[in-house]
Amino acid sequence: MHLPSIARLSALTTALLTGALLANAASAHQIWLEQNDKAASVYFGEFGENLREASPGLLDKFTLNTATLVSRTGNKTLQANKTAGAFVLNGKVASGESIIVEETNYPGWEAKKDGKTTWNVYIPAARIVADHSAQTPALTLDIVPTGTAGQFKVTYKGQPLPKAKVGAVIPSGWSREAVSDAQGLVSFPLPWKGTYVLEVHHNDAAGGERDGKKYDAASLVTTLSVQQAEGVAGLPASAAAAPSKAQ
């Protein structure tokens, strides 16, 4: 999501220094979920800037095939069909449910730091909920409603993640930022009726393994799309931004 310019520049600078930022236009991007009366879809770009990457283009860097519908009766695998502007799923969320998706196949990249070459990965993920019903964390980096309107919990590998910067934005670009407390909790005023997308970043320099290949650092970006049923009518969305050129 689009952070205020000073904060965003600071975040980008930090990420570059740690070698945990992609070296292309995807570096500042997120994936997020939206749904209509028929189905939910996964988008790649910047929700607050009304930027949706397309195919042919950056959307083709994804190999997203499935998502998971989480409900009180269990989990269900949803199929993802790539179109020119999104991955359309064969399902959507109802009250108390979530759809979660995590892209673990986005191309990694090399970075140099102190004369050493490191291998880095980017792990974007997303969740959508229909209301503020409490949800159980399931993504590597997750942000979930707690059951209290406007309050959310950030977790990493199932544990509360303190001091995480979380942003909330609506389609017009209106945004707010908060930092999670010791329990991973953040709270936002939600004055506008409609869809909010929350975003959290986390850089993990501990390293790990993906598809049998070791990596030195991971840059994780997770969003939560939540519908606010009450409030003032939302501001108009900003003009659609042109997708990036294919790379």
Q: What tens digit of pLDDT does each residue of 208-217 get?
A: 988 888 999 9
pLDDT of residue 8: 42
Q: What residues does 80 pair with on adjacent strands?
A: 89
pLDDT at 229: 87
Q: Where are the domains of the chain?
A: 5-229
Selected residue with higher pLDDT from 247 and 133: 133
CA distance 222 to 115: 31
Under 8 Å between Cβ of 229 and 193: yes
pLDDT at 52 over 90: yes
**pLDDT tens digit string along 78-124?**
999 999 999 999 999 999 999 999 998 888 899 887 888 999 999 99
pLDDT bin (cut points 50, 70, 90) of residue 237 is: confident
Say what the pLDDT of residue 1 is.
Answer: 43
- In DSSP terms, 209 is beta-bridged to 214
Chain-centroid distance of CA 199 in Å reads 5
Q: Is the per-residue pLDDT at 185 higher than 50?
A: yes
Structure tokens of 193? 């009726």
pLDDT per residue as tens digits for the range 4-45:
443 443 443 333 333 333 334 344 699 999 999 999 999 999
pLDDT at 75: 96
Average of per-residue pLDDT values in the chain = 87
pLDDT recorded at residue 216: 93
Assign 59 to helix, strand or coil: helix
Q: State the pLDDT at residue 112.
A: 85
Q: Using the structure block, give the residue that is written with the tokens 């991007």.
A: 29
Mean pLDDT of the 155-178 span? 95
DSSP state of 130: S
C-beta of residue 229 within 8 angstroms of C-beta of residue 140: no
Compute the average pLDDT of residues 194-210.
93
Query: In 125-135, which positions are buried (b, 16+ CB within 10 angstroms) versus exposed (e)?
Result: bbbbbbbbeeb
**Residue 213: in which H helix or E strand, if any?**
strand 213-215
Exposure string (b/e) for 37-50, b if CB count within 10 Å is 16 or more? eeebbbbbbbbbbb
Is 18 strand, coil or helix? helix
| pLDDT for 226 | 96
Distance, CA of 190 to CA of 46 (rounded, Å): 20
pLDDT for res 102: 95
- Which pLDDT does position 96 carry in this prediction? 94
DSSP secondary-structure letter at 27? Answer: G
Task: Check residue 5 and give its pLDDT.
Answer: 40
Q: Which residues are paired to 208 by β-bridges? A: 215
Q: Is 112 left (phi over 0), alpha (psi -120 to 50) or beta?
A: beta
- Between the alpha carbon of residue 33 and those of residues 50, 98, 102, 134, 247, the distances in Å are 13, 11, 11, 18, 24
Residue 12, classified by CB atoms within 10 Å of its CB into exposed (0-12), middle (13-18) or buried (19+), is middle
- The answer to whether 198 and 167 have CB atoms below 8 angstroms apart is yes
Give tens-digit pLDDT for 116-130.
Answer: 899 999 999 999 999
Q: Which helix (H) or strand (E) holds 6?
A: helix 5-18
Predicted local distance difference test score (pLDDT) of residue 161:
98
